[in-house]
Chains A and B, each alone.
Chain A
Amino acid sequence: MSAAQIELAGIERVFHLGDSDVHALRDLNLSIGAGEYVAVMGPSGSGKSTLLNLLGLLDRPNTGVYRLEGRDVTTLSPDEQARVRSERIGFVFQSFHLVPRLSAAENIALPMVLAGLAPAQRALRVKQALKDYGLENRADHRPDELSGGQRQRVAIARATIMQPAMILADEPTGNLDRATGEEVIRLLEALNASGVTLIMVTHDSALGARAHRQLMMEDGAIQQDKRQHPDAIPCAVPT
């Protein structure tokens, strides 16, 4: 493995709640290579979500350096960070975060609209994405006309439409039943298999166990960093 895709060094994130300071992350050092499949686990308040927000450039550390693909992104201006988010990072949220008034196809196209891609190119990619995620006959449906699994598939299609280098998923199955959750995880794992880095925050230890690398967090620090060989997981990669 050459230079890591993600490198965190001495990251601290402190929230001020009233008089007390809460250390969401303390002296965090982490390195994640391109194409890794990482599950971030831990109890509530352990800093999982804060870590994910930091990785997604939605939040800034108080101290420390975050290098993304060798580039220090903590010092970038907000607009430059927005550009990095647009081009390199895809988000998948627990509550989907689809825009309710837009159709499935329009939701998928949203990142490309924001990035200013040409309509012809957008239509092409949306069509492919709808096909890839089995949403072809749901293209004109609005989110409230879709099932939970379909909504999350729309969200994943949206997260991948800009062909990002990494997907950040925050409890992607949290609002889904077991079967649809399984289906969504399969989609994410398939993406990972195609080379996209997948970082997933989850409470579910069974789900976390499927990842190639587990980060156990507690009190804003990584307690355990466990790697396992992909072949050791029976159900992750269908043979």
Chain B
Amino acid sequence: MRSADLIRFARMAATGNPLRASLLVLAMAIGVAAVVVLTALGDGARRYVMNEFSSLGSNLVIVLPGRSQTGGFNPGNAITNTPRDLTIDDAQALQRASAVSRVAPLAVGTSEISAGGKLREVMIAGTVSQYTEVRHLAMAQGRFLAAGDWRRGAAEAVIGAKVRDEMFGSAPSLGQLVRIGDRRFRIVGVLAASGQGLSMNTDELVFVPVSLAQAMFNSNTLFRILVEANGRDSIEAAKVQVAEILKVRHDGEQDVTVITQDAVLATFDRLLGALTLGVAGIAAISLAVAGILVMNVMLVSVSQRTSEIGLLKALGATGGGIRLIFLTEASMLSLAGALVGYVLGQLAAALIRLLYPTFPAYPPDWAVLAGLATALVTGILFGVLPARRAAQLDPVQALSKR
């Protein structure tokens, strides 16, 4: 039998019973659509978290005081072994490292900001001019803090978008004088609204020069030092150099923690990747169920078409030829189901993206390919048994069945 004839014959056999064919296609389509949608959700969650992290800035190396690996507060440290503070001098020293392009110290505290009779509690971030570049922040109005000596800063402040809205409303804020704590600052810039950035939302921050922030909180410690490496390849080198410099400066004691964004990212990546694999596995079960349905439907088809099979044998079809006819039919139906399911799944993923625009629910390529391949393989695999049964039918008995 020629392959074009085989496909034609199988197609006519499949469409000869529309209900049977559409049920089978539907079962397969649901399985494949489930794989596409569930992996789109899983991978979407992964991408969502990745995006959130990326908004911290790329090539970022973060230095925290204390040796705790996680960077969290360690009560043991606080009582017995207070770590040496990170200072502005430490931050300046890091600029000498060859793998480092920019350094931004960060001192954080809360204070009150008042302007035009309005009072608000805000988080104050003391930093320097490089901070916007390290964190990839955009300005809405004005400029960021002026470059210059880190130890002396002009009394100027940059406010987040939300602070601006709440303090000034629609009135102009640039050039206005505000009181923060017991000092007066002139507002020189407003940050563009970002709404992102994990723990600290920049929309609600007020940036002042780091030296003034330290004076305001009466301390000379830094909350973090943000270090930007020269490039993605030099992140490791920057991490080593930063640790080395600080160790020398802290009398040979390794009392800071240096974390890279990559390490955090990789952990989340692994976690959410495993999650996606898990849901893909669950979806694969529905494909297996669809495969069993293929087998059932094809078995019924074989018994319904017994006399036809007998006839084909009488007309000179070999057992192998009949097996091929039924396998072709099963795989054609599976393929049709897989394609329909693929389209349905993509539509559902598109609908999710439409409803939740921030959630990138794109099914990963591997999942789509694996879903389609699994559908085909199960269809063919579960088509083998019915096809074998058809091929082994005794032609005399098959023909006598009406």
Contact = CB atoms under 8 A, between A and B. Distances in A.
B317 A114 contact: yes
Interface residues of B, number: 26
Contacts of A56: 314
A97 B311 contact: yes
Interface of A: 53, 56, 58-59, 78-79, 82-83, 85-87, 91, 93, 95, 97, 99-102, 110-111, 113-116, 119, 158, 162
Q: Most chain-A CB neighbours within 10 Å: which of B4, B13, B314, B315?
A: B315
Contacts of A85: 313-316
A111 B318 contact: no
B316 A111 contact: yes
Interface in B4-34: 4-5, 9, 12-13, 16
Given A99-B311, A101-B12, A116-B1, A162 B399 contact: no
B152 interface: no
20 contacts: A53-B396, A58-B314, A58-B395, A82-B313, A82-B317, A93-B399, A95-B402, A97-B311, A97-B314, A99-B308, A99-B311, A102-B12, A110-B312, A111-B316, A113-B5, A114-B1, A114-B315, A115-B1, A116-B5, A119-B5
Contacts of B402: 95
Interface string B292-315: 000000000000000110111111
Contacts of B395: 58-59
Contacts of B16: 100-101
Interface of B: 1-2, 4-5, 9, 12-13, 16, 307-308, 310-321, 395-396, 399, 402
Contacts of B9: 113
Q: Give the interface centre of A82, A86, A95, A110 by most chain B CB atoms within 10 Å.
A: A82
Contacts of A114: 1, 312, 315-317, 321
Contacts of A79: 318-320
B399 A58 contact: yes
Given A58-B399, A102-B12, A162-B316, 8 more contacts: A58-B396, A82-B317, A82-B318, A85-B314, A86-B317, A113-B1, A115-B316, A116-B1
B265 to A, nearest CB: 58
A78 B318 contact: yes
B318 A101 contact: no
Given A53-B396, A58-B399, A102-B12, A116 B2 contact: yes
Nearest to B315: A111
A110 B396 contact: no
Contacts of B308: 99
B123 to A, nearest CB: 76
Nearest to A90: B315
